[in-house]
A = this chain, B = another copy of it.
Amino acid sequence: MFKLKTTKKKSRLGVLKTRRGNIATPVFMPIATKGAIKTLSVEEIKKLKPEIILGNTYHLMLRPGKEFLYKAGGLHKFMKWPKSILTDSGGFQVFSLAKIRKMSEDGVTFNSHIDGKKYFLTPEESIDIQMAIGSDIMMVLDECVELPAERDYLEKSIELTARWASRCFEYYFKKVKKSKKNRALLFGIIQGGTDLDLRTKSALALKKLDFDGYAIGGLAVGESEQEMYSILQHIDKLLPKDKPRYLMGVGYPNQIVQAVKYGIDMFDCVIPTREARHGRMYFWNEKVNFKKAFWKNNDKSFYTVANIKKELFKNDFLPINKESAFPELKNYSKAYLRHLFITDEPLAARLCTLNNLEFYLTLMSKIKEELKA
């Protein structure tokens, strides 16, 4: 399932094999929350060439729903995406979006943020929904505790999350043999906030179960960058070398580079797509050599972020990105893109989304090149 090819200091270059293809790691997974990367068609996604995208179980369980997804033959067929899909467990969004949550040993009861409808999500139900989606990499259901929280509460939460992980593991591998070819992969999620002891506890509990990969959850939620990096350094020692490591919800380009240097293989983040819809664009800093910047500590100099709506771009008739694979980004000027934003044209968000995802995916290529070198 995962082959570690080379390491360079703690950085890892590998291949993650799913039933839908081989994914060169480190990899960034663009987010297709509700069965589409917002503003993009699958034709455009294919042209961006991600090897895997991410779907959100919480959103998909509300609409179009589990039964529908079974009937539609899964999300790949529904959205015409042939490559890998990773799904989260629904946990994170139940705890950040849904209303009136009630926790119990069994699972979490919540009301939909759309229409108030009541749902009961258990570890087993999360796996069922992810199987209806046809996910290639599934995540276990975890409790995402709102920080700050009492250490006592956090500790209990870690224990519950470990029990839920175990239930997911048992439930899935009872349904599908672990040795079965072409089965979906199942990842555990390490929680524990910024407390290193709790992270250890969580990691060790999960390691007892032989998951296909290990995710690190509960980061990039308000803690400092330095705290995040400390946790990554700490966890690196606890995890098996031969399993992929996925840092959930991270992050800015410099954070991805830094996390790669702490041994992370997989990333997902809403930043390139969400910020695009507000005109925030990621560009390469042409004055900086990426290879040099890569090995510096948490260097941010290799990219710039600019809000295209700014007056600054009003008369900037240079191409949005002269190196882009998309004729729209090569041909249209920044001044035109600014005009589209200022006048609320829907095309604006699409062009920025393409730009930012192309930037993130190019970043991953550059990182891999650097690790191969």
Which residues of A does B touch, CB under 8 Å? 34-36, 38-43, 59, 63-64, 68, 71-72, 78-80, 314-315, 317, 327-328, 331-333, 335-336, 339-340, 342-343, 345-347, 349-351
Contacts and interface: CB of A to CB of B under 8 A. Distances in A.
Contacts of A34: 339, 343, 345
27 contacts: A34-B339, A34-B345, A35-B336, A35-B340, A35-B345, A38-B346, A39-B346, A41-B350, A42-B328, A42-B332, A59-B343, A63-B339, A63-B343, A64-B339, A68-B314, A71-B315, A72-B317, A72-B335, A78-B333, A78-B336, A79-B332, A79-B336, A80-B331, A80-B332, A80-B336, A346-B346, A346-B349
Contacts of A38: 345-347
A40 B347 contact: yes
The 5 lowest CB-CB distance pairs between A and B, nearest first, are A34-B343, A39-B346, A41-B328, A36-B345, A80-B331
A367 to B, nearest CB: 29
A347 B41 contact: yes
Nearest to A71: B315
Q: Which of A40, A328, A345 gathers the greatest number of chain B CB atoms within 10 Å?
A: A345
Contacts of A71: 315
Contact of A63 (B41, B63, B342): B342
A51 to B, nearest CB: 20
Contacts of A350: 41, 346, 350
Contacts of A64: 339
